[in-house]
Structure 1
């Protein structure tokens, strides 16, 4: 018996040492079977670990189900492997089986694996249960499991709960700080992410590639250009600039802040850019409507034999949409449908091409593409068609598209607004009133238009006609002067864009004080000479403001960069980078 036990231990240690070499390890397992070596819990655990870490789950489960004896490590190994492979339901089911067969105390590592499993699919309710169990076991304050819980809540969209877990941890390492920063950035709360990062530096925690890339992500999402540049300088100072995560985050940050030149400079200096870096660079160009460099990068990726993914093709198609290249978009989509890129088109890819066709006025093709999609069209693709119909005054198809959107979501405020505007442009005020009454009945409120601009690391936001800013008098005085100057260059307010049944004078006044105009007027006063004015909007820029921005850039002699949800507009010397196509 002692000899058999020694042989089992020998094979177990051998498997552990050779686990990276799957072929050799499998031959050892074959030898174990040939020699009829007893499967002790230690040997079984190593065999399960071998198959689980190689993603050979059928074999791992067969061992688990047929082994004469198991220890908790055998279960934990397989649960952790399912968690790493984003298979939360399998991990949670195994955990339930483990508690029935081996009701021993779970380890801190196992709790962390289960939290990561819940995080992979944003499973909040099971996550609550794992958190409750960790409290019961006294693990919730420990670094390993505590960090996993911080990450789990962040990925479930619960930033405050993530911070509560973090606050309860007596010892916080780099990973826990980085997880909290990433959580805020992921949940659209960039200022909180920046605040946590500043606090991390203040208490003397050393930063790593993860924490730095997370705060860069926060800067990117809010287009915080100056803080992003400061983070770039910090990355250079501590030697992290060329780390894969940091390099990719820098490309993304500069791209989303509208500085395409610096984004490309960073990309070109990354020694071996990963797929995420290529995608970030392609997306940066796509949001600018620069299709030519996108196709050059796309071609280079194919030459290098790089694996493309859904994001790569989405960036290529988005560049076609923003550049008005409907035929090129159709060609890329056709290639995807025939499997040339190894990526099957999803709804988001079809939506880009529908947008390109719609804005080109090719409505029959756009609707036909929607109806022929192999996947179920969602509200987004119909909303894109509705937007194109509104731009081209295609009332009949627009109403049909609007009905489709509202059949998916009765509370889609943008669709109600577009329908109302279509009726208003046709001066059908009875239908406008009907749509607004429907919105009121369904308690749908139109999203307020907001524009914000960063000045000396402080974000200033404006709404249309906003008079809440401390510098209101100076802002309005400067805006009045700018409007006077651009009228000298031929600007005339486009009152046709004010779709309300009011007199012309009130329409002109409403146009004069749109939020982006207020932001630019403030920026001219407060942003240092020579620096571009960077304005972010939550809604699409209107035609009147687009004309005004072109002329203002000429009057003030500086670049004005406006980012709306669809794309970037770079106004310079009276022209826009979009070529008046958006």
Structure 2
């Protein structure tokens, strides 16, 4: 069927017979093109409009602006808009919507302000909805508040569309209290309104409030949609809320959303980050119905998070065989898998693919390459990639520092850290942990203490954590200063964790200090009564002092309590 025949069928007239479509028919067919994003058909209709002399018809011109905007042709939409002699609010709204869809919220906002200045017609709820989306994307809270005031002035305080837009805007601008105020003042709320409020709570870390809102929705007979559940899941994306995530998952299955592509991807991310079993994660992978780039990325990243790097590499190979395009998210995850496995050959192949696919200049990918080479022991390659990088952030420096420290280059780690301090990149807690560990492993006690004091006195967003204190205890212990280590623990401003006492107990094993070992073991049993490492370390300390009977008694106590040590294994 030719284009003319298709148009004739849609318009309802025989264009070949010479009959002319009416403006109403043309508006109807252009609106159809806008809904189906049919640019070719819309352009052909535009030619007919010009030929028939309907270029001044405001309804046809508004429909043309709309079709070009929905097809991503902002330049064409703007041209039709500029050539339209008389514009109504629909014409303005169509162009605003077009720029929003094209990812130009600033231009769309300026159009809204121009419409207000022209003042031909007052803005509609659709106008307010569009500009509020712009404010949300730009995080322009001050302008959004002004739009809020204008909507109140025009009597739209009860409009559900405007109210929902305001909730979303304030949430995106990190003003959740204002979102709550708008939400509580609204008399009519639909599912989208409730979902916007749930999303706002999720983004601000108000997990309990998000759950309460969903429960209230169910009580009122409103059925949450997949966006509601997706936001609710995101609000519980921490290991502390693993039970809540499983409860929400059960509800999702009951509602029939378990095969929704967005829900499945969110679940894959949550399960992989919440210490779920490999079997549970594999079962969840079987629920994926659409294997697109996003799904593959979630599965590959999930296997990396769980620790099954072999599965991640296998999935990457299957993704490539399926012809699905890879992006920098894919490369970041698969480089981590290669580094975890110390698979240098596979890592180099991935590096070659990165060059071939044009992602070599991406900072995240470059950081992944530095980390991968460092973990594989190819320190010179890691340094080479680092040197070729145009920009460095704290992750870049941490990746190279970790590579040096992991392979015993303590002095080189210190030199690199000093080089970092001369740059504008500010070290974070991870940086200091790497450097302190390196100092501990090579016996640089004074340097390690210097860096720890620097960390405490430096203007860091977070104070030293338990792992930093544990590393300093290890630093003292390796140097044989056990009493200094004990005094350091007693002076800690935070409660010592298990890692602190394990470091001290391990040092007691090396230096044979039975009394301090017993004290540390007692503290560890209080903190982690079912941890086999405590019993093993204490038993080894007693063995080094020749107390065979006491060591055997500790082992017997361990087995009597049903505590078993996980057997070690080696790649060799």
Normalization by structure 2: what TM-score? 0.75
Contact 2:74–2:102 (Cα < 8 Å) also in 1: no
SS in 1 for 2:316: helix
* Gap change, CA 1:379 and 1:96, over 3 Å in 2: same
Deviations 1:307-332 (A, max 9, x none): 33332232222222333324423321
Q: 1:265 aligns with which of 283, 295, 301?
A: 283
CA shift, 1:519, in A, is 7.1
5+ residue gaps, structure 1, are: 451-463, 466-471, 525-551, 559-571
The aligned counterpart of 2:31 is 16
* Gap change, CA 1:315 and 1:442, over 3 Å in 2: closer
Matching of residue 165 in structure 1 with residue 165 in structure 2: no
Q: 1:319 aligns with which of 326, 334, 337?
A: 337
Q: 2:348 aligns with which of 330, 333, 340?
A: 330
* Gap change, CA 1:54 and 1:388, over 3 Å in 2: same
Matches of 2:441 and 2:518 in 1, distance apart? 16
The aligned counterpart of 1:210 is 227
Matches of 2:150 and 2:531 in 1, distance apart? 52
CA shift, 1:51, in A, is 0.3
Q: 2:566 aligns with which of 567, 573, 576?
A: 573
Matching of residue 86 in structure 1 with residue 98 in structure 2: no
SS in 2 for 1:308: coil
Matches of 2:27 and 2:128 in 1, distance apart? 25
Higher helix content, 1 or 2: 2
* Gap change, CA 1:315 and 1:416, over 3 Å in 2: closer
Contact 1:395–1:422 (Cα < 8 Å) also in 2: yes
CA shift, 1:15, in A, is 1.1
Matching of residue 493 in structure 1 with residue 509 in structure 2: no
Over alpha carbons, which structure has the higher Rg?
Answer: 2
The aligned counterpart of 2:253 is 236
Deviations 1:162-200 (A, max 9, x none): 333333333332222222323333344444433433343
Higher strand content, 1 or 2: 1
Deviations 1:360-401 (A, max 9, x none): 33322212101213x522121112222333333424442354
Equivalent positions of 1:275-314 (< 5 A) are 275-314=293-332
Matches of 1:295 and 1:86 in 2, distance apart? 35
Matches of 1:172 and 1:519 in 2, distance apart? 49
Contact 1:190–1:221 (Cα < 8 Å) also in 2: no
The aligned counterpart of 1:367 is 383
* Gap change, CA 1:254 and 1:427, over 3 Å in 2: closer
Contact 2:30–2:64 (Cα < 8 Å) also in 1: yes
- Greater shift in the superposed pair: 386-395 or 327-336: 386-395
Deviations 1:221-245 (A, max 9, x none): 3453222222222122222221222
The aligned counterpart of 1:456 is none
Q: 1:376 aligns with which of 391, 402, 407?
A: 391
Matches of 2:206 and 2:321 in 1, distance apart? 39
CA shift, 1:437, in A, is 4.7
Deviations 1:424-467 (A, max 9, x none): 555545544543554455443524349xxxxxxxxxxxxx99xx
CA shift, 1:277, in A, is 2.7
Contact 1:193–1:215 (Cα < 8 Å) also in 2: yes
- Greater shift in the superposed pair: 68-77 or 299-308: 299-308
Cα RMSD (Å) = 4.2
* Gap change, CA 1:203 and 1:334, over 3 Å in 2: same
Contact 1:251–1:264 (Cα < 8 Å) also in 2: no
Contact 2:340–2:375 (Cα < 8 Å) also in 1: no
5+ residue gaps, structure 2, are: 1-19, 468-488, 533-557
Deviations 1:465-506 (A, max 9, x none): 9xxxxxx9xxx9xx9xxx9xxx9xxx99333999xxxx9977
- Greater shift in the superposed pair: 65-74 or 417-426: 417-426
Contact 1:86–1:120 (Cα < 8 Å) also in 2: no
CA shift, 1:59, in A, is 0.6
Normalization by structure 1: what TM-score? 0.73
The aligned counterpart of 2:16 is none
Instruction: Report 1 or 2 for greater relative contact order, CA contacts < 8 Å, sequence distance ≥ 6.
Output: 1
